[in-house]
Structure 1
Amino acid sequence: MPILEDVKEYVQRATGMGRPGKKEAARLARPRKPHKVRFKDDGLIPNHPRWPFVIYRGAVEPADGHDPAVVMEDLFEANGWGETWRDGIYDYVHYHSRIHEVLGIARGKGRVRFGGNKGRIFTLKAGDVAILPAGTGHQCLSADDDFLVVGAYPPAGTYDECTTVEDRPRALKTIPKVPVPRKDPVYGADGPLVKLWKKPK
């Protein structure tokens, strides 16, 4: 599926076909209250020492004629979250120690464990958006055949992938230093994430 989605994305970007544009994408975001969860360091997965993992349920409902993956890409990019990709979620526990991540569910549903092996399992469905502060463990346990995720990252930070206990010493230093994003990937500068993830005093 990733290769097919890569081709589709290339064509959609080249032609503008099915793309709502950044202003219209913002109008397709439905107001939702954030569901917040704090995960503790479990000895392997650090999670974030201050900021919660956030889910917006059913936040994105694409209008007729728009590919939901395109809507999420345009929405995230409109709010400064870029380097978008389309794929699933890895089936092994991993986290990013130098960048935050947003995961928008474009199609299907999947059972995803966040927070590491001692974390919590969520069923994510089309339209849901999950926002992971740096350090948050995540792993797909099962998914529909058509499960499609759109991922993106804020401009400040560097992508990395941590999976082992050897990654921890560096990760424990870098995770708290990843800066607060300027905008919520779904709701922009006035979105809930900006208030939930505050700069340390």
Structure 2
Amino acid sequence: MPNLEDLKECAERATGIRRPGKGEACDFARARKPHAVRFKDDGLVPNHPRWPLIIYRGAVELDDRHDPAAVIEDLFEANGWGDTWRDGIYDYVHYHSRIHEVLGIARGKGRVRFGGKKGRIFTLKAGDVAVLPAGTGHQCLSASDDFLVIGAYPPAGTYDECTTIQDRPRALKTIPKVASPRKDPVYGTGGPVSRLWKKAR
């Protein structure tokens, strides 16, 4: 059964109301210095062997004229990151071994641990964006009642969800094979993710 956010998204896409559209979405990206964090394999979560997690603080300008979720969706889609969803972040440790993921915070704030049980905790709030290379563990530890996350994926790769030690053997083989995205989900061609991930090879 669709939730309220799913219904809002359908209505907004059908009418265009409160959406900037892909043509104007890039105007909502604010220049921010990327915060790059590397994580080691912790025995359960492999993390990425070469590429760091990237966090942009306050990277998306949100206003009262547009639905913040729609702004982030249109921005990600304008830069080639699709299959968007609206939800929270799972409260258990998981990672994706066959695809990268971007998480944009549309409302509220949450404490999210990246990198697995031995990783680091970050408080993410509206306008922040986290770009996770394949293999990066993530888990929501706590969040405000209005916490809303927009997730998306680059065109190359296949969604999967890994949570157990049994997932590791296959994940260790597939994670390094996931191609770097052609565009940064926030800043497009030549954005920091593209540069940092290529540099880190």
Scaled by the length of structure 2, what TM-score is found?
Answer: 0.97
Report if the CA contact (8 A) 2:51-2:200 is conserved: no
Kindly indicate whether residue 101 of structure 2 is the aligned counterpart of residue 101 of structure 1.
Answer: yes
> Deviations 1:83-130 (Å, cap 9, x if unpaired)?
000000000000000000000000000000000000000000000000
Map 1:53-72 onto structure 2 (within 5 A): 53-72=53-72
Kindly indicate whether residue 20 of structure 2 is the aligned counterpart of residue 3 of structure 1.
Answer: no
Report the AA paired with residue 83 of structure 1.
Answer: D
Report the AA paired with residue 13 of structure 1.
Answer: R
What is aligned with 1:152? 152
Q: Helix, strand or coil for the counterpart of 1:195?
A: helix
Report if the CA contact (8 A) 1:28-1:63 is conserved: no
Identity of aligned residues (%): 81
Kindly indicate whether residue 141 of structure 2 is the aligned counterpart of residue 141 of structure 1.
Answer: yes
Distance in 2 separating the partners of 1:169 and 1:110: 31
Scaled by the length of structure 1, what TM-score is found?
Answer: 0.97
Report the AA paired with residue 161 of structure 2.
Answer: E
| Superposed displacement of residue 190, structure 1 | 1.8
What is aligned with 1:83? 83
Distance in 2 separating the partners of 1:199 and 1:53: 14
Report if the CA contact (8 A) 1:180-1:199 is conserved: no
* Root-mean-square deviation over aligned CA pairs: 1.1
Distance in 2 separating the partners of 1:88 and 1:139: 10
Distance in 2 separating the partners of 1:5 and 1:120: 29
Q: Helix, strand or coil for the counterpart of 2:166?
A: helix
Kindly indicate whether residue 197 of structure 2 is the aligned counterpart of residue 191 of structure 1.
Answer: no
Distance change (3 Å), C-alpha of 1:200 and 1:110: closer
Distance change (3 Å), C-alpha of 1:119 and 1:82: same
Q: Helix, strand or coil for the counterpart of 2:161?
A: coil
Report if the CA contact (8 A) 2:113-2:120 is conserved: yes
| Higher alpha-carbon deviation: 2-11 or 53-62 | 2-11
| Superposed displacement of residue 199, structure 1 | 7.7
Distance in 2 separating the partners of 1:200 and 1:149: 28
Report the AA paired with residue 154 of structure 1.
Answer: P
What is aligned with 1:120? 120
Report if the CA contact (8 A) 2:97-2:160 is conserved: yes
What is aligned with 1:130? 130
What is aligned with 1:39? 39
Distance in 1 separating the partners of 2:199 and 2:55: 20
Tell me the number of residue pairs that the alignment of Structure 1 and Structure 2 aligns. 200
Q: Helix, strand or coil for the counterpart of 1:176?
A: helix
Q: Which ranges in structure 1 are unaligned for 5 or more consecutive residues?
A: none
Q: Which ranges in structure 2 are unaligned for 5 or more consecutive residues?
A: none
| Superposed displacement of residue 64, structure 1 | 3.5
Distance in 1 separating the partners of 2:187 and 2:198: 16
